[in-house]
Amino acid sequence: MTSPAAPRPSAPASPPAPSPATPPPSARPPLAHRWFFALKPDDVMAHRTHAFAAEQLGETGLLPPAHHHITLALTPDFPDEPADLIAALLRAGDAVAAAPFTLHLDRLSGSARTVALRPSRAVPPLRALQAAIAAAMAAQGIAMRPDWRFSPHETLCYRKGAPFQRPVAGFHWSVTGFVLVHSVIGRHRHETIGQWPLHAAEPAQGCLF
């Protein structure tokens, strides 16, 4: 009588495949840091604008309300957080003086990559504030990002699509201050590290005699 064949040894279990959702640290892009001066709407206006964007454009690619802003000046990207640069940026913010004003964003503008709210005409107080910030940065020896130019807009979403423009109503707010934001590229993180109020100019005192 033939004896039963010996059972084959089982193959060792394969290790589980790594989850594609979280790449290993070595595969992640390196972080970059940038800083920008900006105007930010208050929470009520930011959420109202976000709701409008969701209704008009859908949920894909929308910026969260906390990230709504209008960039006034922008640094190049840095691999770290230079303490001397941050101190110089804060000194630049301290040196800026400008009066409050009302900002109307009455044009919805879509490019091939983004959709934003923009003013339909020049806003002299906004231009003056931006120029004052740029001059204060230059006085501190801070370089502006070379491929950036001031074109006031509040980005609502990132998407791919055909360019368009159309008028909109109801998006205006009182600009009473500006902020300095630290942005961590690759982490979608914004941190406000400085803020400054705007003050109306003091009336000139007439001579009594």
| pLDDT block averages, 10 residues each, the chain of length 209 | 49 48 52 96 96 92 95 96 97 97 97 96 97 98 96 96 94 96 88 95 57
**Strand, coil or helix: what is 90?**
helix
3-state secondary structure 21-70: CCCCHHHCCCCEEEEEEEECCCHHHHHHHHHHHHHHHCCCCECCHHHCCE
Which residues are bridge partners to 109 per DSSP?
Answer: 116, 165
Contact assessment for residue 109 and residue 161, using Cβ atoms and an 8 Å cutoff: no
pLDDT in the model for residue 158 = 94
Of 84, 80, 47, 74, residue with least CA distance to 62: 47
pLDDT in the model for residue 29 = 59
Exposure letters 68-106 (e unless 16+ CB within 10 A, then b):
bbbbbbbbeeeeeeeeebbebbbebbeebebeebebebe
- Cα(74)–Cα(96) distance, integer angstroms: 16
Q: Do you know the residue count of the chain? A: 209
Q: Which residue has the tokens 């159309």?
A: 166
pLDDT in the model for residue 166 = 96
pLDDT in the model for residue 19 = 44
- Cα(156)–Cα(206) distance, integer angstroms: 48
Contact assessment for residue 171 and residue 106, using Cβ atoms and an 8 Å cutoff: yes
Which residues are bridge partners to 36 per DSSP?
Answer: 74, 181
pLDDT in the model for residue 187 = 78
pLDDT in the model for residue 185 = 87
